[in-house]
Structure 1
């Protein structure tokens, strides 16, 4: 059973700048770097305005995401860290992660990160294959990917995660396996791997509308995911969430807190916050974000979550993890008895080897994880009406 007490409040800081646009990415970012100074000041100011959001909880994780946080200079990082420590109680052993492009990991940058308190790197490699990287419009090549990881290790970083993408049209399963093998040989502590998807507002999305681009079919994606799991399991990685693998003791504490439904604060344009009852969304517009903070206003909207919303989110997220759905929690917290109300469906999941039920825990199998979202939707009893 997972130790819930090990995962508490966290802060996510969104850095909305990139040197160039990857063809698949639909996160909020801009390649216009001119407002960086004003943006960093606004992020620092939002940290001060939101200091009471987590109600004094000790901060166990800080995550710099984006965009490309490794674009930040020493002065910019120091300003944000100063505001973090002035306004929040950052635990002495907090996990502090920075997303980085491998070509940004110079010796000077790594020394800065170490000195300022960053103790975990999430390196956006995506592929070691130069042709694939070019097709994705990544700024680095395979050599830079390898050297970035090794340079970080030489500088003493011993908690490194790397990102990989599969189901890329020009990458067959053997080339994909070679990429996974390259990743394993670099000996990171964590690997996140995602299937390439077409998002409407990306370059791939525009090309797909014009009939110029098509992703790999579902069978290819499933086959590459299976190969990924086999290779990483054999190398000693724990498959603890659909897209995430860790060596023992190196799960992402920040992301695991999300999946456990812990509260967190999101800072920066496009960032989300969650206090277990409401979700807050910052505007995804750099200009509006900066101008609002200059007026001491937080440019966000708030959504109050119903009991049904909370149950749906719990099922959607938990089914993607290695610990699964706690049927007793669903019964006591949401007044829904899935063991009875969806008894036939759960039995069928077991019969089809899509899930196992041990005591009160329903956990998807490797086969079932590929259908996690569909299974979550089908678990909700037809016509259920939750209180609240």
Structure 2
């Protein structure tokens, strides 16, 4: 859910960032460049151009430097997302990290994640990233099927992925996450089972599963409309998800969030901030931020426009939102329900002065009768059936 827009203005980063919570913050840095745009992608990305990338890095540093806090905020996660952050040179990465450490008190044991695509990094580059403090790699694997990779517009092969993983291990990366996509056009249950078997055999510390979403205006949507590929089937995708849960449990991975699985102790600390209402500060084009209470803000989406705004000493913030108490409560509920542990209702009452038993009595009764939720005095969580129909449950809190 995107919260209702309550107010909007162009505000300076230095004015809006202020630590409003005792929780440690997360820092998100968006790198919008890719070698080529995937056919299914609707993110704020574009093809890599070295001159623009260099200007973009300088703009990032300027934006981070403008976050003048009365007292530096504490941060214990840094996440480089994109796009393809592994297109950054080690020197560019070092420049950005220096700016972050100058403006935030970064914990010595901070989780520093970089999204990487197979084939975009050399062993030498990986060792350089590791020496600069990157200690977690989020690996855009998607599938081990080369034909499906071509359909998605990916520029790597399955062998590229295997080599990159070996290079990551050789560079002393001991916390690696794989991204897998289910419900690809024409993908069979058998092909999906093979993907899972190969991924689990490689024993990553973390797995993220995404069901393919076909967004209007993307090349993939156009190809499906023209009959080049079959539209992903919802029933088949649901069966793939059930099969995943079965294989994951057999492999001793913990299912801690609807789409995320890990070996014990390897949850994504950064992404947990999104689901638990912790503060996070985003830098770069299209980056979003949250103060941990009621305020959200978002940056300009277009890369060139973002750079222009920063270079001319203007704010890149194009939207700010102030949630009211009901909106903040609802958002906390549906984000918290993504976690398998669910929502602690006592903590929710204390934080929002809201009794959800009274506020959502009809909805909770309906979902309870349908076997989609488990509800007691202290916790609200989804059942296995509720996980499969989670969007229906979440819609009740919008």
Could you state the TM-score of these two structures normalised by the residue count of structure 1? Answer: 0.92
Q: CA RMSD of the aligned region, Å?
A: 1.9
Deviations 1:164-203 (A, max 9, x none): 0001122111110110111111111000010001112321
User: Any idea what SS the aligned residue of 1:165 has?
Assistant: strand
Q: Whole-Å Cα distance in 2 between the matches of residues 163 and 19 of structure 1? A: 18
CA contact (8 A) 2:334 2:397 kept: no
Alpha-carbon shift at residue 213 of structure 1 (Å): 4.6
Q: Structure 1's 156 and 131: CA in aligned 2 closer, same or farther, altered over 3 A? A: same
In structure 1, the partner of 2:40 is 24
Q: Whole-Å Cα distance in 2 between the matches of residues 11 and 332 of structure 1? A: 27
Alpha-carbon shift at residue 310 of structure 1 (Å): 1.1
Query: More deviation in 106-115 or 365-374?
Result: 365-374
Alpha-carbon shift at residue 208 of structure 1 (Å): 4.1
In structure 2, the partner of 1:285 is 302
Q: Structure 1's 211 and 303: CA in aligned 2 closer, same or farther, altered over 3 A? A: farther
Is 1:227 paired with 2:227?
no
Residue of structure 2 aligned with 1:297, choices 314, 335, 348: 314
Structure 2's unaligned 5+ residue stretches are: 1-20
CA contact (8 A) 1:197 1:215 kept: no
Is 1:111 paired with 2:111?
no
Alpha-carbon shift at residue 62 of structure 1 (Å): 0.2
Residue of structure 2 aligned with 1:45, choices 47, 51, 62: 62
Deviations 1:251-296 (A, max 9, x none): 0000001110111110000100111221111001111111111122
Residue of structure 2 aligned with 1:339, choices 325, 345, 357: 357
Residue of structure 2 aligned with 1:68, choices 69, 84, 90: 84
CA contact (8 A) 1:60 1:90 kept: yes
Alpha-carbon shift at residue 359 of structure 1 (Å): 3.5
In structure 2, the partner of 1:101 is 117
Alpha-carbon shift at residue 156 of structure 1 (Å): 1.2
Q: Whole-Å Cα distance in 1 between the matches of residues 360 and 298 of structure 2? A: 34
Query: More deviation in 215-224 or 185-194?
Result: 215-224
Q: Whole-Å Cα distance in 2 between the matches of residues 14 and 81 of structure 1? A: 13
Is 1:326 paired with 2:344?
yes
Alpha-carbon shift at residue 7 of structure 1 (Å): 6.5
User: Any idea what SS the aligned residue of 1:122 has?
Assistant: strand
In structure 2, the partner of 1:384 is none
- Equivalent residues, number: 375
Residue of structure 1 aligned with 2:202, choices 161, 186, 199: 186
Alpha-carbon shift at residue 68 of structure 1 (Å): 0.3
Q: Structure 1's 208 and 129: CA in aligned 2 closer, same or farther, altered over 3 A? A: closer
Alignment of 1:223-372 (within 5 A): 223-275=239-291, 276-300=293-317, 301-343=319-361, 345-372=363-390
Q: Structure 1's 189 and 7: CA in aligned 2 closer, same or farther, altered over 3 A? A: farther
CA contact (8 A) 2:299 2:316 kept: yes
Q: Structure 1's 32 and 157: CA in aligned 2 closer, same or farther, altered over 3 A? A: closer
Q: Whole-Å Cα distance in 2 between the matches of residues 277 and 340 of structure 1? A: 23
CA contact (8 A) 2:62 2:310 kept: yes
Deviations 1:326-370 (A, max 9, x none): 233443443432224444543443343322224410110121012
In structure 1, the partner of 2:177 is 161
Q: Whole-Å Cα distance in 1 between the matches of residues 143 and 249 of structure 2? A: 20
Q: Whole-Å Cα distance in 2 between the matches of residues 357 and 209 of structure 1? A: 43
Is 1:144 paired with 2:157?
no
User: Any idea what SS the aligned residue of 1:128 has?
Assistant: coil
Is 1:58 paired with 2:74?
yes
Q: Whole-Å Cα distance in 2 between the matches of residues 202 and 312 of structure 1? A: 31
Query: More deviation in 297-306 or 186-195?
Result: 297-306
Q: Structure 1's 269 and 231: CA in aligned 2 closer, same or farther, altered over 3 A? A: same
